[in-house]
Amino acid sequence: MKKIYKAKVNKIEKVSSSSYFIEIECENPVWVEAGQFISIYCNGLTLRRPFSVYSNNDGKIGILFKERGKGTKYIKSLKVGDDIDIAGPFGNSFDIKNKKALLIGAGIGAAPISYLKTKLDNENIENCFIAGFLNKDEIPKGMEIDKICTDDGSFGEKGSVLNYIGVIIHEYKPEVIYACGPHIVLKIISELGEKYGIETQVAMEKVMACGIGVCRGCVIDIKKDGKIINATVCKDGPVFKGNEVVWES
């Protein structure tokens, strides 16, 4: 099946002080793996905007987004029943292991991790989902999280998720860590994984043009077989093994 759809907005709602949930219904159900993304054409803008998938109920695609610029401003303006032009799903996905899992989501990065949690739960794989937000108003309503951190301490533990990962690794003893969030968070998680000998899988983000690996616009450096090579976030990723990424400081 071709990966471009004329779809409709099935639901759009504000779910926290700064984030929105939109559910998109295509003509036929579209099935998405955890970690994959779709791209949305935003009226008049040249580049489609990529979003990790947050939910996939009955083949409908749910994403979580914040208003950050022209693209997300357009998406925010959509109403139920409006047409929407989407393409995807693109990219690889989390490589789900039958191992005790620590799931980490920072900010809007909690969205694909939350979707991964539902997959792990469906497969009865033991997991713990920790997510960090700026404050309690930023926590998306309806997201099921085992442990919440807020930078200002207005809900759950005070401070960044990074402050707690060391302790959780010791107490919970995960065999694999899956994470999504800002670059610096993923870098530190990957380093911790290496330190404790735990596999890490991180979902990365980068400005993209084509979404299918041809334009080479979204490359990062990764280590493969002792060499440093280019990998596209859109096709080779967005999920990479933390210890394979060459982290920029």
Which residues are at the interface with another protein (CB under 8 A)? 2-4, 41, 45-48, 85, 87, 207-219, 229-230
- Residue 140 DSSP label: P
Q: Which CB sits closer to another protein, 44 or 197?
A: 44
For residue 111, give both structure tokens.
């969205």
Q: Which residues of 175-194 are buried (b: 16+ CB within 10 A; e: fewer)?
A: ebbbbbbeeebbbbbbebbe
Q: Compute the least distance from the CB of residue 1 to another protein, in Å.
A: 9
- Residue 108 DSSP label: G
Q: Compute the least distance from the CB of residue 5 to another protein, in Å.
A: 11
Q: Cα dist. 137→11, 71, 141, 152, 238 in Å?
A: 21, 23, 9, 11, 28
87 close to 24: Cβ distance less than 8 angstroms: no
For residue 79, give both structure tokens.
């109403």
Q: Compute the least distance from the CB of residue 237 to another protein, in Å.
A: 15
The single-letter code of the amino acid at 63 is: I
Q: Compute the least distance from the CB of residue 246 to another protein, in Å.
A: 11
Q: Which CB sits closer to another protein, 159 or 217?
A: 217
Q: Compute the least distance from the CB of residue 46 to another protein, in Å.
A: 5
Cα separation, 57 vs 78, whole angstroms: 20
Q: Compute the least distance from the CB of residue 41 to another protein, in Å.
A: 7
Cα separation, 244 vs 231, whole angstroms: 11
